């Protein structure tokens, strides 16, 4: 097969970064013609049919991650899976669709794809660059209008091919829904195994779809409630290391772990500030638990609450100005709001029953929580209005937001946990695959 010159306008603009895995071109922002409006908040719209054929390669080339032809098929599989996972799309293919030749990537066979029922079409290619890197191209078309909606190119090391697929799916998702992306993300969570009396709990990290799974701790000590720093440089979590339950900070680059707070008191429920500079946490002193704040680098804790009840589970607003937390100061677990300095504390949950684990959406518009009567996941506005329960039967607790604020992951199961995902608009749920049991998921921001 002869080499075909490929008219990629963006190729010249691509940066080839050695240290950073990715370079990409951004589409021009704005609401130009061709954008489909998806009614995400209403959740009434049927999933959009979108064709995702296999990605061809201009020349079959062996790479560290397999041949470029095989990678093109795997990338298409992941793009289709991501779009299906969102609940907003019904992918058509990749299997069963006509093969796309390399020249057709930029000149699609629109009449054929119209016969598949697809409203949109994703095409692309995988090309070896000769220096060990790959270029993955990703194109989105409107089938009926026979027009291109966006194109993106990613220069990657072969081992990062899954990330290129997630980036492609993110581009399509954002272009067609107007929402923020969330597929190129990771989950840190607690992997569980063994009998309930002596459950072994290990810190683990994986891509949002369960791929690239690895353990961060060996299971000697119980670990709980990890959280990603917004800058993704550290993870904070609670450990029973040396039978001293306390909050630790794990540095992702070095693999080093250090205690966040000095002293003998139990510390738990850590959450980062949006600027990644502080962590709010709970500390139990002689049977009384309050919320404190401390620099991630360490220092003197500043006390933010001062009630005789249990104050815990704090979560910052995206702008860092306020903190939502739970307290039983009034006799039952309820959600409270305060300013970031601890002032102006007031209750916001009045829907009846108990509320726990409030987590502020990255969009700022909603607070996810656990309703303790029946253990269901719900959302409410930051002023406490508009409460809506998202999950049905079965014990659920501990929500964490996707970075676009459109999906929530949580723990299902009281003693033996599983990770589940719920689309906030539609309420559609699905299980997130993990090698063992799982609990306490925390969703990362979009990867840099």
Contacts of residue 270, defined as CB under 8 A and 6 or more positions apart, other chains included, come to 225, 227, 236, 237, 238, 247, 260, 279, 280, 281
The residues pairing with 14 across neighbouring beta strands, listed in sequence order, are none
Question: Please, what is the minimum distance in Å from the beta carbon of residue 197 to another protein?
Answer: 6
- Per the listing, tokens 């001293």 go with 244
Contact status: 442 vs another protein (CB under 8 A): no
- CB 224, CB 357: distance < 8 Å: no
Among positions 357, 361, 434, 444, the unique one binding another protein when judged by CB under 8 A: 357
Site for another protein in 302-331 (CB under 8 A): 310, 312-313, 326, 328
How many angstroms separate the CA atoms of 77 and 54, rounded? 8
Contacts of residue 214, defined as CB under 8 A and 6 or more positions apart, other chains included, come to 204, 205, 206
- Per the listing, tokens 């992918």 go with 91
Question: Please, what is the minimum distance in Å from the beta carbon of residue 217 to another protein?
Answer: 15
Contact status: 334 vs another protein (CB under 8 A): no
- Contact map string, positions 236 to 275, toward another protein, x by CB under 8 A: -------x-x--------------------x-xx------
Question: Please, what is the minimum distance in Å from the beta carbon of residue 439 to another protein?
Answer: 8
Q: Is 107 exposed, middle or buried (0-12, 13-18, 19+ CB in 10 A)?
A: exposed
Query: What does the DSSP assignment read for 125-136?
Result: EEEE-SSS-EEE
SS (H, E, C) 39-108: CCCCCCCCCEEEECCCCCCCCCCEECCEEHHHHHHHHHHHHHHHHHHCCCEEEECCCCCCCCCCHHHCCC
Question: Cβ closer to another protein: 34 or 351?
Answer: 351
Tokens encoding 314: 């704090």
Question: Cβ closer to another protein: 154 or 325?
Answer: 325
Question: Please, what is the minimum distance in Å from the beta carbon of residue 267 to another protein?
Answer: 10
Among positions 222, 361, 391, 434, the unique one binding another protein when judged by CB under 8 A: 222
- Contact map string, positions 24 to 53, toward another protein, x by CB under 8 A: ------------------------------
Q: How many helices (H) and strands (E) does the chain have?
A: 3, 31
b/e for 300-320, b at 16 or more Cβ within 10 A?
ebeebbebebbbbbbbbbeee
Among positions 18, 44, 130, 198, the unique one binding another protein when judged by CB under 8 A: 198
Give the interface size with another protein as a residue count (CB under 8 A).
36
Among positions 82, 142, 184, 440, the unique one binding another protein when judged by CB under 8 A: 440
Question: Please, what is the minimum distance in Å from the beta carbon of residue 196 to another protein?
Answer: 3
- Contact map string, positions 88 to 127, toward another protein, x by CB under 8 A: ----------------------------------------
Contact status: 230 vs another protein (CB under 8 A): no
How many angstroms separate the CA atoms of 84 and 63, rounded? 28
Contact status: 200 vs another protein (CB under 8 A): no
Residues of this chain that interact with another protein (CB under 8 A) are 195-199, 201, 222, 224-225, 243, 245, 266, 268-269, 282, 284, 286-287, 289, 310, 312-313, 326, 328, 333, 356-357, 370, 372, 375, 397-398, 414-415, 439-440
């Amino acid at each position: 097969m002869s080499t075909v010159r490929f008219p990629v306008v963006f190729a010249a603009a691509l940066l080839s970064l050695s240290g950073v895995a990715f370079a990409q071109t951004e589409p021009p922002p704005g609401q130009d013609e061709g954008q489909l409006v998806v009614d995400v908040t209403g959740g009434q719209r049927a999933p959009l049919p979108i064709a995702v054929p296999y990605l061809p390669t201009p020349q079959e080339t062996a790479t560290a991650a397999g041949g470029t032809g095989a990678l093109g098929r795997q990338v298409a599989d992941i793009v289709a899976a991501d779009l299906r996972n969102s609940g907003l799309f019904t992918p058509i293919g990749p299997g069963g669709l006509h093969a796309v030749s390399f020249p057709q990537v930029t000149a699609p066979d629109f009449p054929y794809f119209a016969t598949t029922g697809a409203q949109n079409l994703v095409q692309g290619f995988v090309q070896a660059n000769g220096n060990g890197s790959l270029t993955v191209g990703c194109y989105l078309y409107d089938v009926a209008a026979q027009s291109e909606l966006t194109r993106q190119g990613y220069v990657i090391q072969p081992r990062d091919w899954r990330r290129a697929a997630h980036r492609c799916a993110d581009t399509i998702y954002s272009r067609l829904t107007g929402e923020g992306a969330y597929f190129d993300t990771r989950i840190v969570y607690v992997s569980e195994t063994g009998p309930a009396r002596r459950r072994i709990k290990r810190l683990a990290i994986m891509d949002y779809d369960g791929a690239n799974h690895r353990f961060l701790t060996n299971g000697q000590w119980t670990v709980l409630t990890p959280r990603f720093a917004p800058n993704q440089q550290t993870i904070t979590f609670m450990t029973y290391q040396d039978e001293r339950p306390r909050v630790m900070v794990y540095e992702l680059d070095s693999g080093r772990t250090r205690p966040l707070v000095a002293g003998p008191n139990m510390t738990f429920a850590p959450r980062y500030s949006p600027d990644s500079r502080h962590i709010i946490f709970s500390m139990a002193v002689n049977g009384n638990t309050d919320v404190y704040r401390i620099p991630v680098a360490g220092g003197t804790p500043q006390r933010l609450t001062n009630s005789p009840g249990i104050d815990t589970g704090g979560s910052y607003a995206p702008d860092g100005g306020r903190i939502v937390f739970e307290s039983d100061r009034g006799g039952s677990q309820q959600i409270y709001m305060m300013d970031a300095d601890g002032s102006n504390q007031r209750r916001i949950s009045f829907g009846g029953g108990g509320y726990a684990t409030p987590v502020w959406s990255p969009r700022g518009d909603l607070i996810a929580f656990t309703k303790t009567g029946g253990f269901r996941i719900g959302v409410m506005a930051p002023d406490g209005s508009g409460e809506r329960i998202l999950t049905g039967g079965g014990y659920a607790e501990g929500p964490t937001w996707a970075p676009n604020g459109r999906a929530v992951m949580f723990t299902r199961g009281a003693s033996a946990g599983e990770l589940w995902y719920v689309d906030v608009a539609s309420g559609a749920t699905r299980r997130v695959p993990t090698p063992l049991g799982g609990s306490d998921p925390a969703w990362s921001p979009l990867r840099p």
